[in-house]
């Protein structure tokens, strides 16, 4: 089974002609409220593909929290690990201008209150998970506790987003560390080389067991540590991209699920790029995630 540990946010989206300057007020479109957050997105993406998926997260005792629980349940996610209360549900306040550029303010809210203690109290969920997938929209100490508390032999998948410095024990557990170009550059800092192969090599040198670099329309690059390893390109199907929101979450969820079925990294990535490609053909994040049938039809 797959366990996703991460954030759940309500995305509050307003279209604007232009952003307000300090002290100014502008009028925008009607408000749209969508379930989001990287953890919630990954769990929905995996469950929609048919994966047995549970989510460990925290939401507020409020309407946004109920929206998030409802979208998880509708996708078939086991929500027994979604804790309620302690702070308002996390929110992303998003304005979109006519060129499609976003400006976003995130209030982590309940996500910031998902504690290492919450992880320790979720022993049954952790014991039942063959793969645990995390991101960084929850406290880093909570992610570090997931690494320690997961079952012996459980595989740990990390998308370090938003990017932050990672402690060595967390890095060493990643199998794989999944980064897009922006995250790769952040993690590597000055050590970043010139292309994805350089990044993969440099990232492996930081200690993870394996690395996946996602490359948008170009697909992904996978690299495993150990002797004689070399990076392998996994091309993405060519599609008409409409909205890339959530593509990385769909990719990582699909990858983690296929790894939980025992596929090797390159085979799992070959499936995941198809899921990512399908997700960019539709608007939205969770609304764009495909079923297994839709992936086959691609």
Burial of 141 (0-12, 13-18, 19+ CB in 10 A): exposed
Among 93, 96, 151, 239, binds ligand ADP (CB under 6 A): 239
What is the closest distance, in whole angstroms, from the C-beta atom of residue 272 to ligand ADP in the complex? Answer: 7
Residue ranges for the binding site for K(+)? Answer: 243, 245, 279, 282, 284, 288
Residues 170-229 within binding reach of ligand ADP (CB under 6 A): 180, 214-217, 219-220
The site that binds ligand ADP (CB under 6 A) totals a number of residues, namely 18
Residues 246-265 within binding reach of ligand ADP (CB under 6 A): 247-248, 251
Distance (Å, rounded) from C-alpha 136 to C-alpha 108?
A: 11
What is the closest distance, in whole angstroms, from the C-beta atom of residue 161 to ligand ADP in the complex? Answer: 7
Query: How many CA atoms, within 13 angstroms, populate the side-chain half-sphere of residue 41?
Result: 28
Q: Is 236 in the site for ligand ADP (CB under 6 A)?
A: yes
Task: Using the minimum distance from each CB to ligand ADP, give the nearer residue, 206 or 217.
Answer: 217
153 to 108, 129, 131, 220: CA distances (angstroms): 31, 10, 9, 26
Residues 298 and 273: beta-carbon distance below 8 Å: no
CB atoms within 10 A of CB 179: 28
Distance (Å, rounded) from C-alpha 43 to C-alpha 98?
A: 31
Task: Using the minimum distance from each CB to ligand ADP, give the nearer residue, 99 or 227.
Answer: 99
Q: Is 286 in the site for ligand ADP (CB under 6 A)?
A: no
3 to 56, 175, 283: CA distances (angstroms): 7, 15, 26
Task: Using the minimum distance from each CB to ligand ADP, give the nearer residue, 111 or 288.
Answer: 288
Residue ranges for the binding site for ATP? Answer: 180, 214-219, 248-249
Residues 149 and 170: beta-carbon distance below 8 Å: no
Among 125, 129, 273, 295, binds ligand ADP (CB under 6 A): 273
Active-site residue flag, 169? no
Task: Using the minimum distance from each CB to ligand ADP, give the nearer residue, 13 or 272.
Answer: 272
Give the residue from 258, 271, 224 showing the smallest Cα distance to 131.
258
Distance (Å, rounded) from C-alpha 259 to C-alpha 76?
A: 20
Distance (Å, rounded) from C-alpha 282 to C-alpha 298?
A: 13
Among 68, 254, 277, 285, binds ligand ADP (CB under 6 A): 277
CB atoms within 10 A of CB 181: 16
Q: Is 276 in the site for ligand ADP (CB under 6 A)?
A: yes
Of the residues 78, 118, 175, 249, only one is catalytic, namely: 249
For Cα atoms 162, 66, 276, give the angle at the middle one, nearest 5 degrees.
40
Token reading at 150: 């997961």
Residue ranges for the binding site for substrate? Answer: 9-11, 37-41, 137, 249
Residues 63-122 within binding reach of ligand ADP (CB under 6 A): none
Write the interaction track for ligand ADP spanning residues 7-46; mark x where CB under 6 A is met and - where it is not: ----------------------------------------
Task: Using the minimum distance from each CB to ligand ADP, give the nearer residue, 9 or 214.
Answer: 214
Task: Using the minimum distance from each CB to ligand ADP, give the nearer residue, 183 or 224.
Answer: 183
Token reading at 178: 């999944």
The angle that helices 38-49 and 63-75 make with each other, rounded to 10 degrees, is 20
**Residues belonging to the active site:** 249
Q: What residues line the site for ligand ADP (CB under 6 A)?
A: 180, 214-217, 219-220, 236, 239, 241, 244, 247-248, 251, 273, 276-277, 280
């Amino acid at each position: 089974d797959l366990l996703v540990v991460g954030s759940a946010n309500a995305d509050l989206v307003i279209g604007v002609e232009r952003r307000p300057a300090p002290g100014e007020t502008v009028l925008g479109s009607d408000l749209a409220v969508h379930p989001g957050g990287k953890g919630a997105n990954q769990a929905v993406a995996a469950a929609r593909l048919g994966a047995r998926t549970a989510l460990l997260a925290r939401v507020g005792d409020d309407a946004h929290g109920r929206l998030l629980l409802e979208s998880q349940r509708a996708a078939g996610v086991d929500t027994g690990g979604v804790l309620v209360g302690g702070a308002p549900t996390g929110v992303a306040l998003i304005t979109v201008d006519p060129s499609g550029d976003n400006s976003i303010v995130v209030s982590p809210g309940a996500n910031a209150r998902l504690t290492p203690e919450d992880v320790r109290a979720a022993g049954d969920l952790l014991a039942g998970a063959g793969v645990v997938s995390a991101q960084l929209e929850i406290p880093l100490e909570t992610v570090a506790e997931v690494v320690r508390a997961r079952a012996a032999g459980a595989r740990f998948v990390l998308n370090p987003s938003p990017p932050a410095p990672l402690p060595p024990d967390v890095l060493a557990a990643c199998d794989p560390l999944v980064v897009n170009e922006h995250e790769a550059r952040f993690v590597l800092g000055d050590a970043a080389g010139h292309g994805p192969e350089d990044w993969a090599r440099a990232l492996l040198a930081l200690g993870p067991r394996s690395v996946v670099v996602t490359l948008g329309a170009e697909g992904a690059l996978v690299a495993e540590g150990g002797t004689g390893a070399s990076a392998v390109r996994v091309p993405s199907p060519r599609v008409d991209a409409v909205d890339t929101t959530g593509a990385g979450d769909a990719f990582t969820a699909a990858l983690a699920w296929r790894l939980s079925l025992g596929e090797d990294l390159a085979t799992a990535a070959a499936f995941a790029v198809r899921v990512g490609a399908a997700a960019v053909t539709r608007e939205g994040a969770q609304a764009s995630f495909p079923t297994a049938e839709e992936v086959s039809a691609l």
